[in-house]
């Protein structure tokens, strides 16, 4: 751990939060001289203080230890690069269109890799009125089910969360040119072929 880099990061984040050294020190029950020492690179935070410091500054502990936030390149959030994440502990579904570190339930999540639909994971799309009516002939038990279906177009994502013991059917408004993704709790992410 480079104390100079860590100190510069703490200083910039503290200023970003419009906090004084004393305010941070008071919240952490330490002296403001300790904060000053860190910011000048004369020492690094003790491991036991990193969790509180992370919470106060709104940054992952890992980033504090590296002393660098490494901002993303501005790409405008291109929908062609959409990624989905599912927490294996609670089932939370998250999506993003750029570079991000996603975590849930204390665990870092990896982006799911979509596979083209196969015979066991295939959806049927019918047009009804102004909607797409989607049915998925798939088991919907507590241990094996379709968790969500997402319709991704160049400027939006429509996501419907499904639950075990519910029918795997839903409707999306017609929007031409999008892709449909669906997630099986046991076999991962699938994408509807063109």
User: In this predicted structure, what is the pLDDT of residue 68?
Assistant: 78
Q: Are 154 and 137 in contact (CB under 8 A)?
A: no
Tell me: pLDDT of 44 over 70: yes
**Cα gap 178→40, rounded to integer Å:** 52
The DSSP 8-state label assigned to residue 182 in this structure reads E
CATH class of the domain at 3-66 = mainly alpha
CATH number, domain 79-191, options 2.60.40.730, 3.30.1490.100, 3.40.50.720, 3.30.450.40: 2.60.40.730
pLDDT single digits (tens) 81-100: 889 999 988 989 999 887 78
| Tokens read off for 55 | 């919470």
The helix (H) or strand (E) run that includes residue 135 is strand 131-135
Q: Choose among 103, 97, 190: nearest CA to 149.
A: 190
| Tokens read off for 80 | 């062609």
Strand partners for 188 = 184
Provide the residue ranges of all domains of the chain, joining segments of one domain with +: 3-66, 79-191
Tell me: pLDDT of 157 over 60: yes
Chain centre to alpha carbon of residue 173: 26
Q: What is the pTM of this model?
A: 0.67
Question: Which residues are CB-neighbours of 43 under 8 A, at least 6 positions away?
Answer: 3, 34, 37
Tell me: pLDDT of 112 over 90: yes
The helix (H) or strand (E) run that includes residue 189 is strand 188-191
DSSP-based three-state secondary structure for 176: coil
152-to-19, 36, 120 alpha-carbon distances in Å: 41, 48, 22
Supply the mean pLDDT for the chain. 88
């Amino acid at each position: 751990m480079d104390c100079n880099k860590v100190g510069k990061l703490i200083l910039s984040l503290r200023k970003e939060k419009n906090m004084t050294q004393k305010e941070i020190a008071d919240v952490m029950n330490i002296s403001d001289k300790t904060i000053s020492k860190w910011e000048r690179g004369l020492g690094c935070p003790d491991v036991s203080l990193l969790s509180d410091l992370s919470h106060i500054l709104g940054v992952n502990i890992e980033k504090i230890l590296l002393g660098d936030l490494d901002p993303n390149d501005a790409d405008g959030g291109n929908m062609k690069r959409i990624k989905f994440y599912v927490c294996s502990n609670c089932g939370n579904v998250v999506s993003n269109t750029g570079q991000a570190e996603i975590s849930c339930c204390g665990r870092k999540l990896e982006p799911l890799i979509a596979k083209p639909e196969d015979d066991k994971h295939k959806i049927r799309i019918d047009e009804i009125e102004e909607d797409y009516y989607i049915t998925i002939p798939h088991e919907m038990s507590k241990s094996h089910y379709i968790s969500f279906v997402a319709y991704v177009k160049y400027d939006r994502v429509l996501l419907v969360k499904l639950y075990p013991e519910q029918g795997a059917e839903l409707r999306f408004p017609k929007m031409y040119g999008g892709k449909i993704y669906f997630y099986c709790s046991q076999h991962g992410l699938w994408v509807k072929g063109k």
